[in-house]
Amino acid sequence: MRSRLHAQRGFTAVEGMIVVAILAILAAFAAPAMNGMIRAQKVRTIAYDLFADLTVTRSEAIARGRNVALFSTSGLNWVDGWAIRDLTTGEVIRQQGPRASGVAFTADQTNIVFDRTGRLFGPTVTWAIAPVDTDAPDAQKRCIRITPSGRPNTLNGPCP
């Protein structure tokens, strides 16, 4: 026979509801911070991808000894992607597809060309990368510029 003083195991429904309520309150406080972090990460990822491809484009121009270009696939709005192309052979060296939604990614040129020495051939280009949200802080924005020597630079914050 079992004793009547047998210990209960498990949680009651009330205890379970209290735990769920506490988790909901914590999630409500964490959600706004998480949205800002996701916005900042989208901008940072695009900036890193573009910076890497600018470096690859310049390196390919030097290695091949001829002009190599980085082209936007849709005009001044670079968010739809870009491609690296050897201008002598027409070969597409590398191509990037569309970027994450919620990010404005524009430039003042549709392409950039590096000559065989790795220097910029033509006007300098500035890319502005920022969340679409107008209330996004400046810390979540990035600006990429090419120096006349052909080296890309990343600036934290909006383009001046």
Report the number of distinct structural domains present in the chain: 1
Whether residue 5 lies inside any domain: the answer is: no
Whether residue 70 lies inside any domain: the answer is: yes
The pLDDT tens digits for 32-91 are 778 888 888 999 999 999 999 999 999 999 999 999 999 999 888 898 999 999 999 999
Select the more confidently predicted residue: 124 or 66.
66
Whether residue 4 lies inside any domain: the answer is: no
Q: Which residues contact 68 (CB under 8 A, 6 or more apart)?
A: 57, 58, 60, 61, 84, 85, 86, 87, 93, 113, 114
The rounded percent of the chain whose pLDDT value lies above 90 is 54
Whether residue 3 lies inside any domain: the answer is: no
| pLDDT of 92 strictly over 70 | yes
d(C-alpha 13, C-alpha 90), whole Å: 68
List the domain range (segments joined by +) for residue 57.
13-156
Whether residue 71 lies inside any domain: the answer is: yes
Among 71, 133, 142, smallest CA distance to 105 is for: 142
| pLDDT of 3 strictly over 70 | no
CATH of the domain at 95: 3.55.40.10
Whether residue 7 lies inside any domain: the answer is: no
Whether residue 146 lies inside any domain: the answer is: yes
